[in-house]
Structure 1
């Protein structure tokens, strides 16, 4: 069973490579296909390994961010390092985050599941906080018992 909590987090930086998602924001199948294709590309061309080489921990971030009215999507790691070829330095604010935990067969499946629960159930159900934009991320934290586990982190404000 997946649950959600509200957690206080310090500000942190994710360095990433990104792509602009072209599908309409209501086209979940199109968005998911674009995200899957993007992950395959960053794994195959070595960009993910480059990011891992400067990471502060083993977490792999899949970040969603609206930039200049564009839906941007990034593969990233938590780090203070700089890579000249990286697409973006993403600043996550200090504050309260809605955190959804889960596990799945693959990182892709985990990301889709956590996003669905976070935006489809947790945010609509919670009465005390609201998501007002800013970057949010699925965080792949590791593997156990043959499953990928991780969390979705969404910055929120008190209503």
Structure 2
């Protein structure tokens, strides 16, 4: 049984710098490789640091969203500002979210772990709600006792 909660959240916007994932949506190894290469690039070229410098808080948003029939993956922050490199202002709706909490050794491991639990266990168990699309995000919130901690937020509607 997955450990999850349902929480009401205000709408919010994440400014994201993203990449299109070209692997088939069932090719988890391919998708994870593309995501890892993307995160390595934004860490090395200073893009993530630029985003962090205009953020309202210390959270890093790892966003997945279907846009114009493309699977998009973003590094983002909550901010009112903009950057020329930013590829999208991602609107998250006000409403109910399925939330899964967790911790891991790295940001990437946390995102993959939370995504797996949320979509593989929690959503199937939460039969009274459904994910109907829209952006979803793993939120890297900080470090505690040598581990990275955060949450997965998936907007849901009641069945």
TM-score interval w.r.t. the shorter chain?
over 0.9
Give the drift of 1:86: 0.7
8 Å CA contact retained: 2:15, 2:76? yes
For residues 81-140 of structure 1, what are the alpha-carbon distances to aligned partners after superposition, in whole Å with 9 as ceiling and x for unaligned? 111221110000000000000000111111111000000000001111000000000000
Query: 1:132 — aligned with what?
Result: 132
Which deviations, in whole Å up to 9, do the C-alpha atoms of 1:58-80 show, x marking residues without a partner? 00000000001000000000111
Contact kept? 1:2, 1:101, Cα under 8 Å: no
**Equivalent in the alignment of 1:12:** 12
- Give the TM-score normalised by the residue count of structure 2: 0.98
- Asked whether 1:86 is paired with 2:62, we answer no
Structure 2 segments unaligned to the other structure (5+ residues): none
Q: Report deviation, 1:2.
A: 6.5
Taking the aligned partners of 1:69 and 1:2, their CA distance within structure 2 comes to: 30
Distance 2:27 2:106 in 1: 22
Q: Aligned ranges for residues 7-156 of structure 1 at < 5 Å?
A: 7-156=7-156
Aligned counterparts of 2:92 and 2:80: Cα–Cα separation in 1:
13
Distance 2:21 2:86 in 1: 18
